[in-house]
Structures are given as C-alpha cells and as structure tokens.
Structure 1
Amino acid sequence: MKLGANLSFAIKRWLGGDRLAKVVKEDLGLDHAQFTWDLVDPWWPSAERDRIARDYAAGFKAASVTIESNFGGLASYTYNHFLAPTPELRALGKEHFKRAIDMTAAMEVPTAGMPFGPYSADDALDPRRREDIYREALEALVDLSRHARKSGLTSLMIEPVPLATEFPSSAADSLKLMKDLDGATDIPVRLMVDWGHALFTPLFKEDADMDLWMRICGDYIGAFHIQQTDGLLDRHWNFTRDGIVTPEILADFWKRHKLTDQTYLLEIIYPFEETDDFVLEDMKKAVRLLRQAA
C-alpha cells in the first residue's frame, strides 16, 4: 500500500517546514503527504502566505517527502463556498479556491482540492434552486481549472461528503459531477474519496460500500482519505481504535482493486486537548499497524 498523511494531525502542534517534515519523515517514516489549509490560510495576505507556504514546501522537499496535494481543512469546511445561497457568497467561495490554487502554485505542488460545499437548509429542499446553483458551480470550477493550468497545476480534486445537503455525497453524485466536467476543464478534476464518508450508513444504507464506489466512479478517484469509523458519524479516528475499517480491510481492498497510483492518506483529526506526545505516539502506532497489514 502507498501510505501518506494528511497533515491535519499536526495543526496547532508542529509548525514550520523543517519541523513538520521531520515528524512525517523521521517519526512516522512516511514519504508522501497532503498539505492542509489549516496550516496556511489561503485568505492571508498573499506575500506572507506564500512565503510561509514555501517554507513548508522547502522543508518537505529537503526531507524527501512529496507533498502530493494541497487540501481544504476544518476551517474551510465550515463555509458553503460554491453552493452558497447568494451570488456574493458563491463568488467568495470561488475566490477562496483561487487563492488556494495560487498558494499551491507557490509551493510547486501539482494539485489542489476541497469539498464543493453545502446548500443552505432552504435550497437543499428546492430541486430547481439546487440545479441552478449547481450549474453555476460547474462554470466556476471550469473557470478555476483554466487559472490552475496557467498557474502550473496539473489537476484539481473534489471531496464527496456524507451529507444529503451537500454535493456530491454519493457515488452516483460523484459520477455525475465527473461526467459533467469531462472535457470542459483545462486540467483533470478527480475525486478525493474518504473511507469514513463513503461508509456513513445513516445516509447511504446498503450503498455504504467502498467496492460500490470503485464500480461506479473508480476511474475518477485520485486518492483516498483513510480513517477509522463506526459508520454512524464522520469520526476521523485513528486505527489504534476499534471500528469497521481495519488495516487488513484496507490492504485487501488495495490488492483486489490492483491500486498503484493512488495514495492512502491518513486523515486523523484529534481533539485539540490531546497532548502532543499522545498524538505523535498514536500516529506512529497506526502507521506500524497499516504497514504490518500490507
């Protein structure tokens, strides 16, 4: 299995390129990472933002850790972005991603991604509004793909999420988005599929099945977020805890689907109250468990 880490585990703890790269490379023994906007905010003034982002990129490059992509985190996820109810909010969502693309280019990272966003409570129940806002969101993403290509990126990613008020959520939603964008964007748009999202049984019921995701939209999956979960909420637990996803299940899935290019990115989100020592030891244990299963 090709393992890496989303850097969400490190927020508020290990800051700066050299320091965080040392944790990933020496403590965890990983060669692949996904940067998170929770470390560097796309909305910061561009000169300072890019200087700090380049410091992270340089530290990881010096440690021989590949930052594969630059992805929205907890802070970004709280906003409606492309599916917001007003033109002003949707324009800000587009600008948010544009700034993130600019930061990604400054880091010389090839891919940027995020969830599309949620509809408002009222819009989510109005099929006509949903469709109108969705069509506008597609146009925005096509436009951003042009900007991303000119900035030197090679792909964008969208992450499906386990809420009926968001899009895409299901595998069928995700396939629709990919088909609607096919041939329209200047660079490919791919899916970042999270195991904990896909296995959310209250929404998906019998379709909470990763094999189903591979059958329906496997050709469009660029990478995976992996996490431990109970299938009842989006837990982002580590694999040191019991749940419905085991390292053995992940290894079997990897082998059965003959995966080679995608990366399993641990996206573990700890309570801020956990000690740094606990977080680091827990991450090290999880990497060992995953490697033993592989």
Structure 2
Amino acid sequence: MSVANPLGINLSFCVKRWVTPNLWAPVVRDQLGLDLIQFSFDLVDPMWPAAILSRHAKEVRTAADDHGITIHSAFIGLAHYTFNQLLHPDEDVRAYAEQWLERAYGFAAEAGIQGVGGPLGAIASRPDGSEADAIDARDYASLIERMLRLGDKAKAAGLSELYVEPTPMRREWPWTIQQARQMMTDVSASATPWSLCVDWGHGTFLPLYGRQADTMEPWFAELNDVIGAVHIQQTDFQFDRHWDFTEEGRVDPVEARALLARTGLAQSPVFLEVFYPFERDSKSILDALKASAVSLKQAFA
C-alpha cells in the first residue's frame, strides 16, 4: 500500500496579507484544512532587532502549537531572493548574505523550526547579456565554502537540516541535475546535512532545458536520495508561474502524486507554493487557495 506524501503549503501566499501568526494560522488550518507549512521569511526579516525577532519567533511557535500546525522548514522568501545573496560580485555583500542566513537560523530555532532553505544566490549579468553554461569555478568554490560554514552555524543554532532550491537560471547554482548532484557531494561533510527542495516549475522550464524537460521524472529519479522536500505549483512550462490549481496548466495533481511514488519519493513532503499580484483582492485569493487545497488533498489522499 502506498503512503501519501505529507501535503502542506508555503506561506508565500501570505505576503502583505496574512502577515502575522494570528492571521495565517487560522487561514491554513481552518480555511484550507492543512496542518503542515513552510514558513516564509517574507513575513519576518532576520535583520530586525533581536527583541522583535524573538517576540515574533515565540508568536510563530505558539500559533502553530495552538492550531495543530507543523512547521517543516522556513524558506528565504521572494524579497531576499531578489538580491544576489551569496554570489553577489561584492564580497562584502556575500558576507552580509551569510550573516542574514545565520540570523535566519537563530529565528527558526527559537520558533521551533528545524530546517531553513531556498536558492543561494546569483552571479551578475554580463554587459552584453550573454550567459555562460556554468558559474566561474572561483564563485562555485566560494559558495561551497560558505555552505560548509553555514552548516556549522546551523548546527550551533540547533537546526537539523538545510535546503538548496535549484532554479532554472544559468546565473544561479545549481540549475541542472548534474550540478545538483555535484553540489550535494561537495557539501556532504557539512555539520548540518544539506538536501534539495525541488520545484515542479523549475525543472520543467522548457526555454532553458528543451523539449526533454516536459516532466520532472529525471530530477526525481536521479536525485531522490538527496531530495528533502518538493514544491508544487501550476505552470505552463514556459515560465516559473507559481499559479494555483484554479489556473489551466501542465501539472495534474493525480499524475504528480503517481510520479513521486514511481520515483521513490512517495513519502517526501510536498508544499504548494504560489504567488499573487499584490493588487489582487484577498477574498478571491482565499477562494482560489481553498479550491486548490481541495484538489491537492484529493490527489494526495
């Protein structure tokens, strides 16, 4: 008998709307009927003063406990992702990004969250717009060095796992299955284990990968031993859409669950990750999320 993937939601949909635990916790539990989440650092800035961070961490932990919600991990969010982070051309900015993550680890630990992850950074574009097939070897070596150091810092904070999210961009790392495997090998000695959070709309970005990338099966089959979580979204394989499942797209929830089972990931947690225009009204978003949750719960039951 197959075991259903734990199904949850990333709090990306809460940005500028349900921004505090007393708002998002009842939405997740009572409106969507879910009890598993990924926290988003779009809701809390790790660089806030320590007293504010500590208060919010306690509120997150309390709200999750009161509503019977498990927080699997915390991801960096869209705001921090817009910066080049650990691959910025300025070494001082890279150091700051490392400090940002260290403070994120401290917040997560105080909030009772055991893992933190997300994309790690992007190199700058060239003046002529051309893009290489790989980042510079020195940039990669620097990134691995920082990942290993972050593993030490996460362990000191009390975390148990760190996550890398591959993205479909040549300027970020990793963006191929081979690069992801190499990275996991290169950080295998980390004091805190690193694993992958793979996104359905990233590995199926046809403009980058070509026609052979109209399925996530190669990513799941070849990396199943280093995948710790999965993001699911509705998308058309033309851009990284992050639509909900009221939109027309290429991802079928029933087929998605079958694919995970077929590739050895039947027990991996799956998180709906969706983003909405800031100007869209909150009621229509809530209705779309409810319908999407129903569709996914039926498929993953």
User: TM-score interval w.r.t. the shorter chain?
Assistant: over 0.9
User: Matches of 1:129 and 1:115 in 2, distance apart?
Assistant: 15
Shift of 1:141: 1.1
* Aligned counterparts, 1:239-258, within 5 A: 239-258=245-264
Q: Deviations over 1:194-226 (max 9, x none)?
A: 100111011111145311002221111100111
In the other structure, the counterpart of 2:139 is 133
Q: 2:176 aligns with which of 170, 174, 184?
A: 170
Matched, 1:32 2:36: yes
Q: Which residue type is aligned with residue 10 of structure 1?
A: C
Matched, 1:279 2:285: yes
Shift of 1:255: 2.8
Q: TM-score, structure 2 length as denominator?
A: 0.93
Identity among equivalent pairs (%)? 37
Q: Give the total of aligned pairs.
A: 293
Q: Which residue type is aligned with residue 149 of structure 1?
A: K
In the other structure, the counterpart of 2:191 is 186
Equivalent position SS for 1:81: coil
- In structure 2, relative to structure 1, the CA distance for the partners of 1:50 and 1:60 (3 Å cut) is same
User: Matches of 2:42 and 2:147 in 1, distance apart?
Assistant: 22
Segments of structure 1 that go 5 or more residues without pairing to the other structure are none
Q: Which residue type is aligned with residue 51 of structure 1?
A: R
Shift of 1:254: 2.8
Q: What do you get for the CA RMSD once the two structures are aligned?
A: 1.7
Whether contact under 8 Å (1:178, 1:220) holds in the other structure is yes
Segments of structure 2 that go 5 or more residues without pairing to the other structure are none
User: Matches of 1:217 and 1:255 in 2, distance apart?
Assistant: 14
* Aligned counterparts, 1:1-294, within 5 A: 1-122=5-126, 130-182=136-188, 184-205=189-210, 206-294=212-300
Q: Deviations over 1:78-111 (max 9, x none)?
A: 1111111121111111111111111111112100
Whether contact under 8 Å (1:7, 1:267) holds in the other structure is yes
Q: Deviations over 1:144-196 (max 9, x none)?
A: 111111111001001101111111111111111101111x2001101011100
Higher helix share: 1
Equivalent position SS for 1:93: helix
Whether contact under 8 Å (2:205, 2:213) holds in the other structure is no
Q: TM-score, structure 1 length as denominator?
A: 0.95
Bigger mean CA offset, 123-132 vs 70-79: 123-132
Shift of 1:262: 1.6
User: Matches of 1:50 and 1:197 in 2, distance apart?
Assistant: 34
Shift of 1:258: 4.3
